[in-house]
Structure 1
Amino acid sequence: MNSVEFESYHSPLKDFYQGKIVLLTGGTGFLGKLYIEKLIRCGVSEILLLSRNKNGKTSTERLASILSSEPIFTTYQDDPEFYHRRIKIIDGDVSKHQLAISNDDMSYIVNNANVFLHAAADVRFDESLKESVETNVRGTSEIMKIAANTKALDVFIYVSTAFSNCIRDTIEERFYKPAFDPYQIIKLVEQENDEESFQVVSKKIIEPWPNTYAFTKSLAEDIVRQYYEKIPTAVIRPSIVTTTNSDPIPGWTDNIYGYNGVVVGAATGALRIFHINNDNRAEIVPADIVVNSTLAVGWYAANHRDEINIINCTVADNLVNWATVRNVQMKWKAKIPFLNTLWIPTYNTTKYYYVSEVLKIFYHVIPAIFFDLALKFNSQKPRVMKLYRKVHKFSEVLSFFTNNEWDFRNEHYHKVMAHMTADDHRYFPCDVKQIDWVEFLANNLKGLRMYVMKEKWDNLEQARSKYRKKWMAHQVLLVFCYATVLFVVYKLLQAVGITEVVEEVFTMSGTLGQ
């Protein structure tokens, strides 16, 4: 929907955010950029963007780079100053005590902020427990303290994950008691001195959670629970967040985390075998569905303070399995191929772990050896085996989520949807029933090609030509491999005298047939 359409109808949800001052954490991340875009379209008075200097750039420079380079800010070039007037940088760091916010900025927040949108998180599955706790748990504690003292607060919104309670088969829209007191874990981390020993202990602490991310998000939710009676609070739990469905543009993303990484890996011919149960539900949810659901539950919570406002933002109402996802996207491999690929997409799957480990040798390791030898022969640095080490590590951390299923209950999500008017739904499309999976999966592939791989549409014919050549080479290679295997098998059988017996049987069969 363009800005003119967005302004032309009445929406109570949009009206709620209009004129508000919003404190946003995680605004420079994937979802954060979409929150900025949508909040500005809602007409907020000001976004207080918690940000820090990074990679030699100041917070202001980082913001300017994001606004000018990301295509989701569709009207930025028309009036850059409009965006900069709406965004106030708050220098800080969510992993530090008191978020490292200056006294002047803290005073401004406490006296003026109406909405807290806490989206910052360390989303890396392989992060150390110490760093995950500092950002995800202590950071949430610090921002809750600030929110509790804010004078004009309408609502505090916490962006969690549907997998914060992934050790359960059924996950309801309510708080769950975590395995540990979050404040005790914070204290333990702060007192940690021996990093190597603590790493060993950490593995025991997080069991049976699959990684530090899911574990620390469960602890963070408990901190939010301890405040929800004091301040109006909303929690959204999205599942595997992927590219946008339509709002503000289809197929947009800025990363290859999670499911996006699988698609890019398969499309570039790098990921050729993946451990996944294709019969399981694919818990992928478009990013714009998450963003619009977040703003919807925040609005609802501000007006229904007596309820526990938690929603599971999943695709439980519009299920699709991994087999369908694979089959739909593989149909596009020759039509919209990536230009820069290792090989043609030959994405194979198995639900059996040990089978996948054996097939990795044939599909990944052996080809990597030959690719690296070819690179060395051409006086280039071998890098394919190194790539596959990353691919295997990436596959391992995802396998828990691709080989398990959960029953995500969504009664409260339905209640929030029911309170939205027709114009609310028009402005904030967040009904997962409206997702056309065939169209979405096509746009997902196109978006990853365009926004992650940075491949423009004017090189599509070049990519198709390159694909056809590699496809022919692939067929020749298959013939050679199968012929070699058959020849080796024949020689082995001949060595043990079986071929003579087989030949004699066929001769006798021919004689009897006459």
Structure 2
Amino acid sequence: MVISSFREPLSGWIDNVSGPTGALVGGGVGLIRTLNIDRDCTAEMIPADLTINALISTAWDIANNKNADDEPPIYNYHSSWTNRLTWGKYVELAFKHGKKLPSMQSLWCYSMTETKYIYFHYFLILVLHMLPAIIIDTALLVTGKKAKLLKMYKKIHKYMRVTAYFSTKNWNFRNNNVLKLWDKLSEEDKEIFFFSMKDFDWDTYMNICVHGIRRFIFKDTLDTIPKAKKRMSRLVILHKSIKYAVFALFLWGLYLIFYYALSMSSNSSYSLFSESITVR
């Protein structure tokens, strides 16, 4: 899956929110709170500019060896050369850098629950996405405004279903021809057409991705970062307050159920004891 650029034309350049980028954008604005991923599966993602450099290099290689073999060579270009990125690590790094660079477009704070179990994921969608959306859309309609969250989530869930196919499975590729191609390049060409994923620094790259999303998708300027951080702090406090309040109500509900059941049991036992005395 091709994602934000690493160096060219600009670091972090991106012009769409499809695939894994959509999860970063949705998590960044606080709309996506659950993902159907297997944290241990490899996230096969490649920077856009490195993909193009590899493609140009394969054309050069084919031109130099066009009569060498009867069968056309296959070039599998993927990310897992030496430093494998898992989906769990991808989310961790995205949140690590996202919390340092929040957007002014955020509707809520960063909050994510990942699961590889599809039915539990559907339950989380109901609780964390649909229920809040219904409440907010109802409030908007009551105040005379247009409801929009349910419609928005319909699109989000469509993209999430597509990505889930790749985020819950492991994919094994042989990239021998790509490795050989990299070794064929001169030092000058390796700099110009850089595409090596050997010991790739995912931490640095994810920082670039978050910067790019903030700049090219959210259209936020760097001078808004302090204000966005203050805003995000308030959202975090609100989020925790609501979470603890809901948890307290849940415990109170359990207490009432337990107390009612215990009372019914005690009354039943007392009635049986009274009937036993009467019979005697």
Please list the CA deviations of residues 390-448 of structure 1 after superposition, one character each: whole Å capped at 9, or x if unmatched.
11111111111111111110010011111100001011110011521000011111101
**2:137 match:** 372
* Residues 449, 499 of structure 1: alpha-carbon distance in 2 compared, 3 angstrom cutoff: farther
Q: Say yes or no: does 1:415 pair with 2:180.
A: yes
The equivalent residue for 2:43 is 282
Offset, 1:472: 1.0
Residues 269 and 346, structure 1, Cα contact 8 Å, conserved in 2: yes
Letter in 2 for 1:245: F
TM-aligned CA distance change 1:499 to 1:298, over 3 Å:
farther
Counterpart residue number, 1:272: 33
Q: What is the aligned-residue RMSD (CA, Å)?
A: 1.6
Report the TM-score when normalising by structure 2.
0.90
Where do 1:162-173 residues align within 5 Å?
none
The 5 Å alignment of 1:143-292 reads 240-292=1-53
The answer for unaligned runs of 5 or more in structure 1 is 1-239, 502-514
**Could you tell me how far 1:342 is from its partner in structure 2?**
2.2
Q: Is the 8 A contact 2:38 2:115 kept in 1?
A: yes
Partner of 1:293: 54
Q: Is the Cα contact below 8 Å between 1:490 and 1:499 reproduced in 2?
A: no
Tell me the residue number matched to 2:269.
Answer: none
Q: Is the 8 A contact 1:297 1:309 kept in 2?
A: no
Tell me the secondary structure at the aligned position of residue 245 of structure 1. Answer: coil
Give CA-to-partner distance per residue, 1:147-203, whole Å, 9 cap, x none: xxxxxxxxxxxxxxxxxxxxxxxxxxxxxxxxxxxxxxxxxxxxxxxxxxxxxxxxx
2:16 counterpart SS class: coil
Aligned-partner Cα distance in 2 for 1:249–1:299: 25
Q: Which of 468, 476, 481 in structure 1 is aligned with 2:233?
A: 468
Matched AA of 2:23:
V
Question: Any stretches of 5+ residues in structure 2 without a counterpart?
Answer: 267-280
Deviates more, 1:369-378 or 1:358-367: 369-378
Which residue number in structure 2 is paired with residue 313 of structure 1? 77
TM norm structure 1: 0.50
Larger RCO, structures 1/2 (Cα 8 Å, 6+ apart) = 2
Distance 1:499 1:302 in 2: 85
Equivalent residue for 1:347, pick from 98, 112, 120: 112
Is the strand fraction higher in 1 or 2?
1
Asked if 1:494 is matched to 2:259, the reply is yes
Identity of aligned residues (%): 27
Residues 18 and 159 of structure 2 are in contact (CA less than 8 Å); yes or no, is this contact kept in structure 1? no
8 A contact 1:275–1:353 mirrored in 2: yes
TM-aligned CA distance change 1:373 to 1:411, over 3 Å: same
Select the residue among 62, 82, 88 that pairs with 1:323: 88
Q: 1:215-249: CA deviations, max 9, x gaps?
A: xxxxxxxxxxxxxxxxxxxxxxxxx0000112332
1:267 deviates by: 0.9
In the other structure, the counterpart of 2:271 is: none
CA contact (8 A) 2:6 2:50 kept: yes
Secondary structure at the aligned position of 1:334 is classed as: helix
Rounded Cα–Cα distance in structure 2 between residues aligned with 1:258 and 1:499: 54
Hey, what's the Cα distance between the residues in 1 that align with 2:80 and 2:192? 22
Q: Which amino acid aligns with 1:479?
A: Y
Query: Which residue pairs with 1:438 in the alignment?
Result: 203
Amino acid at match of 1:354: Y
AA of the residue aligned to 2:51: V
- Partner Cα distance (2:47, 2:98) in 1: 21
The one-letter code of the counterpart of 2:177 is H
Query: Could you say which structure has the higher helix fraction?
Result: 2
Residues 19-39 of structure 1 deviation map (CA, whole Å, 9 limit, x = unaligned): xxxxxxxxxxxxxxxxxxxxx
Q: What is the number of residues matched between the two proteins?
A: 262
State the shift of 1:500 in Å. 9.2
